[in-house]
Amino acid sequence: MTEIKHKVDVAIVGGGMVGAALASGLTQQGFQVAVLEQEAPAAFDASGHPDVRISAIGAASVALLKQLEVWPAVLDMRCAPYRKLETWEWQTAHVAFDAESLGLPELGYMVENSVLQRALWQRLQQQPVELLCPARLRDLKQVNDGWQLLLDNDETLTARLVVGADGANSQVRQLAGIGIHGWNYAQSCMLISVRCEQDAGDTTWQQFTPEGPRAFLPLFDRWASLVWYDSPARIRQLQGMTMPQLQKEIQAHFPARLGRVTPVAAGSFPLVRRHATRYVQSGLALVGDAAHTINPLAGQGVNLGYRDVDALISVLSESRLRAEDWASEAVLQRYQRKRLKDNLLMQTGMDLFYFTFSNQAAPLKVLRNLGLIVAQRSGALKRQALRYALGL
């Protein structure tokens, strides 16, 4: 006999960087929220090495985290502001963006995923959020006034709205029967935590090579993160190397401006594009990677997730103020309309960038480098592109 647990307004499946932010924001707006999460984030260790997984948090995402009262906890742990962003293939075709041109103190911050998760989790513990952890979703079925969630410990939870914030392989999306469009890119990505001989600075840069981009993300102290795109076979080969062997490969394949670095840890993942055929149905919504995954070329993944969070909070709270049925499909469609176009635009823009720069045909090479030169010289247009990427 299953135990009927109780009823909440919103059940969020997944308490990661996006799900936890949504839970915090909806609770702030007076919704009764439960979060299902498989494991709580580890305690922060100031003496530990940085997490291999890093997010480039743009200005709009920082504003959301401040609104949620989470940002001070991130600053108390660690993060690194970046003020310049450079990209090039040929040295003569070099595009640089800087915070000053937008009148901003910084373009954003490099934050370890584990730091962000920990800060958000601490905030949830201070709020009247029901944290079901460790908990796994076993099944999901529609009932008269919403959805019934069956957990792996046989408990049941009923919610007017279920939100899938459970990542690219979303169980909520699958159980709701929502399809996806997508493909695998012909590349994998490796993230490498390195110690630099010099101060890491506040500039993040990316060089395009025939094999794929190489990027540098400055972190705190003398730590940085390197991003290496290459064929899946090459990334597997790099992943199998010892750190001294990997150090030699970095020196041979990264631009000289990197200087001498010592790799400490590495992780890799295949590049996949996924987009849900729809974000909502009656009493159900998808946010973040459950709705869309993007080529991580410009570190926009978590920022798009935070734009989803912002949009869903505003749609639900405005609808409830109007005394509407806020969990209805008609209301949730407003969220989908707000986000679908923006996410598709960002996905397509990244793909266009990716395919343009991974094609080695000589005319295209000349064209794209001319494009970079034009971009560098088109002040207002360049600033507009940067403002859009930062969510301003």
Summarised one tens digit per residue, pLDDT across range 218-232 is: 999 999 999 999 999
- Do β-strands 261-276 and 292-293 pair in parallel, antiparallel, or remain unpaired? antiparallel
**In this structure, are 219 and 285 located in the same domain?**
no
**What distance lies between CA 382 and its chain's CA centroid?**
23
pLDDT for position 76: 97
pLDDT for position 92: 54
**In this structure, are 40 and 126 located in the same domain?**
yes
Centre a 10 Å sphere on the Cβ of residue 177 and count the other Cβ atoms it contains: 7
Residue 264: which domain range? 187-271
pLDDT for position 366: 42
279: closest CA among 173, 139, 145, 170?
173
Final residue belonging to a domain, choices 256, 271, 286: 271
**In this structure, are 174 and 57 located in the same domain?**
yes
Is 325 contained in some domain?
yes
Is 220 contained in some domain?
yes
Is 326 contained in some domain?
yes
**In this structure, are 238 and 292 located in the same domain?**
no
CATH of the domain at 12: 3.50.50.60
pLDDT for position 385: 52
State both tokens at 352. Answer: 């266009």
From residue 1, give the alpha-carbon distance in Å to each of 4, 135, 155: 9, 19, 10
Is 256 contained in some domain?
yes
Final residue belonging to a domain, choices 225, 250, 271: 271
The domain total for the chain is 2
Residue pair 20/26 in contact by the 8 Å Cβ criterion: no
**In this structure, are 217 and 288 located in the same domain?**
no
Segments of the chain with pLDDT less than 70? 1-5, 89-93, 295-300, 346-392
316: closest CA among 17, 8, 27?
27
Is 86 contained in some domain?
no
Residue pair 148/156 in contact by the 8 Å Cβ criterion: yes
- Type and span of the H or E element at 347: helix 329-358
Final residue belonging to a domain, choices 271, 300, 325: 271
Q: How far apart are CA 105 and CA 59, in angstroms?
A: 10
**In this structure, are 12 and 68 located in the same domain?**
yes
State both tokens at 277. Answer: 């055929």
Bridge partners, 112 (sequence order): 54
- Type and span of the H or E element at 177: none
CATH of the domain at 195: 3.30.9.10
Helix (H) and strand (E) counts in the chain: 11, 19
Summarised one tens digit per residue, pLDDT across range 45-74 is: 999 999 999 999 988 899 999 999 999 999
Bridge partners, 82 (sequence order): 108
From residue 57, give the alpha-carbon distance in Å to each of 79, 238, 327: 10, 28, 30
Residue pair 285/335 in contact by the 8 Å Cβ criterion: yes
State the residue for tokens 């709270």: 317
Measured in degrees and rounded to the nearest 5, phi and psi for residue 317 equal -70, -40
Residue pair 179/202 in contact by the 8 Å Cβ criterion: no
pLDDT for position 94: 72
Is 1 contained in some domain?
no
**In this structure, are 46 and 127 located in the same domain?**
yes
Count of positions (residues) in the chain: 392
Is 257 contained in some domain?
yes
pLDDT for position 363: 45
**In this structure, are 148 and 47 located in the same domain?**
yes
**In this structure, are 55 and 118 located in the same domain?**
yes
**In this structure, are 266 and 277 located in the same domain?**
no
pLDDT for position 2: 45
Is 45 contained in some domain?
yes
Exposed / middle / buried, residue 218 (Cβ in 10 Å: 0-12, 13-18, 19+): buried
State both tokens at 233. Answer: 């076979």
Q: How many CA atoms lie within 13 A of 289 on its CB side?
A: 20
pLDDT for position 376: 46
From residue 307, give the alpha-carbon distance in Å to each of 59, 111, 377: 11, 17, 30
Q: pTM of the prediction?
A: 0.88
**In this structure, are 42 and 135 located in the same domain?**
yes
Residue pair 189/227 in contact by the 8 Å Cβ criterion: yes
- The gap between the terminal CA atoms of the chain, to the nearest Å, is 52
**In this structure, are 227 and 302 located in the same domain?**
no
